[in-house]
Structure 1
């Protein structure tokens, strides 16, 4: 992988805001991109695998990618989730993303397949060997039923498109093991917000964070402190930020929770589309109270 693709740091994952009539609110989406980039966020990853991407039509996907690319305007890389069951469909989605100006694509093992790792790697190899974009491989055993361990991912190094891994298995030493197996040419991103600081301490070179769409300043600050080796300050920040991220990540309706919190803070998002669950008011109140505490402490630092 050439140095031009050495993208790293915090990548915020946008929500999909809706108008009252159920259509996408692309103006609100663009405003969110602008806000995230103004805080120093390193990249945007739209159409993530555990959000509302699978509830969008192909036309809606295209509109969203176009809006994000235009809002980013070359200031930060845009990664597009290109998940599908069949390798051929993944390849089609990557080609569409490339044509719309995306900088990279994210793929997973086929959903719901519960495939043996060897079969999943074979499917991903077909896609990655043909990809015209750098590829992030998302290891999310909870959603896909397949845990791609370092020994499996090594088999993709010769595809020519292997940019990064988004690691969400939760295995305590996995980031360190990925670093050892894949070397310096493949970036390792944390994909589970609740173990971000732990992942940074093991050498992760980035973080794909749904929470960074709601808390971009704090997430970026955590990355900056960790990157600079200011671990004492990072731990102090984590005491509050980690509590908020835990409230988000532990809630089965976490997409709705992020959207509701954003709406309450003035960036109207609308509801989530079925089948995603809607969050209860008490959870939103509790999260906003935690965020108020984080922001209040920051004013006195």
Structure 2
């Protein structure tokens, strides 16, 4: 089983046309643009986006489109979140059939499960998975914080490729590194603490913001990977302002879509019930991005 490497994985939004259907052409065009900046991969159907608002047919169409657009240039990871282990496993099988390189799963959304119970449910899914697995620890959305010792119980499945860490705990990336060793990749999953995670030894970054700002996100990671911390900090001063405006907005999916529509490719609206970002937030973000690019 070949596992993807570390690096920046951009998380696409789902473009929609005026008829409400997915705009596959807009999606694949943006995949090509993002990959030209050198990011390591694409993680489609992310956990906090519009994946749960898509039908199974729409999911399959998106996966195949991203896989075809990526080709041999980058790895494709597919979010396979679901409430039950059985449905997670079906999503994983579909991702494999569509040509994905790896998958991402979480404890059931809003399950509020005890960590041991959640880890046991994921263990059963991972044991049968034909693909490498990224486990997404997002206690804000799932109600379950998988600590390093809980995640370590998944290693014996032979499928634990990586952990996407979004708890926000200051020392968690370092703790994961110490518990899981170098065979498991640890990705920063919260854009606003990316540089902090890199300092602690994160091997990559799963970034929604990299769909909008792939070049800047890739450069930040490259500076950190190469130990060029002065350049990383200098870039971070400008980039972090834009990331904070995105991440702190409850309508961040809409904000990314609107900003991308203004700057590159029309994305259409978000699919209800996701909220729509207001015009002031959009103009503030666009001004911040302009200042960042002038600073380059």
Task: Say whether the fold is shared (TM-score over 0.5).
Answer: yes
> Structure 1 CA distance, aligned partners of 2:231 and 2:272?
41
* Contact map agreement 1:191 1:209 (CA 8 A) in 2: yes
CA shift for structure 1 position 266: 3.0
> Structure 2 CA distance, aligned partners of 1:284 and 1:41?
25
Deviations 1:157-202 (A, max 9, x none): 1001000000000000000000000001100000000000000000
Aligned counterpart, 2:219: 221
> Structure 2 CA distance, aligned partners of 1:68 and 1:256?
21
Identify which of 41, 55, 58 aligns with 1:60.
Answer: 58
* Contact map agreement 2:134 2:163 (CA 8 A) in 1: yes
Aligned residue pairs, count:
296
> Structure 2 CA distance, aligned partners of 1:6 and 1:49?
19
Runs of 4+ more than 4 Å apart: none
**Secondary structure in structure 2 of the residue aligned to 1:199:** helix
| Matches for 1:66-215 after TM superposition, within 5 Å | 66-215=64-213
CA shift for structure 1 position 111: 1.1
* Contact map agreement 1:82 1:90 (CA 8 A) in 2: yes
Identify which of 32, 37, 40 aligns with 1:39.
Answer: 37
Aligned counterpart, 1:267: 265
> Structure 2 CA distance, aligned partners of 1:103 and 1:76?
9
TM-score by length of structure 1 reads 0.98
> Structure 1 CA distance, aligned partners of 2:239 and 2:207?
13
> Structure 2 CA distance, aligned partners of 1:239 and 1:180?
29
Aligned counterpart, 1:258: 256
> Structure 2 CA distance, aligned partners of 1:266 and 1:214?
9
**Secondary structure in structure 1 of the residue aligned to 2:161:** strand
> Structure 2 CA distance, aligned partners of 1:132 and 1:178?
24
The answer to whether residue 17 in structure 2 is matched with residue 19 in structure 1 is yes
Q: In structure 1, list runs of 5 or more residues that go unmatched.
A: none
* Contact map agreement 1:6 1:187 (CA 8 A) in 2: no
CA shift for structure 1 position 5: 1.1
Distance 1:226 1:73, change over 3 A: same
> Structure 2 CA distance, aligned partners of 1:26 and 1:130?
31
TM-score by length of structure 2 reads 0.99
> Structure 1 CA distance, aligned partners of 2:227 and 2:150?
31
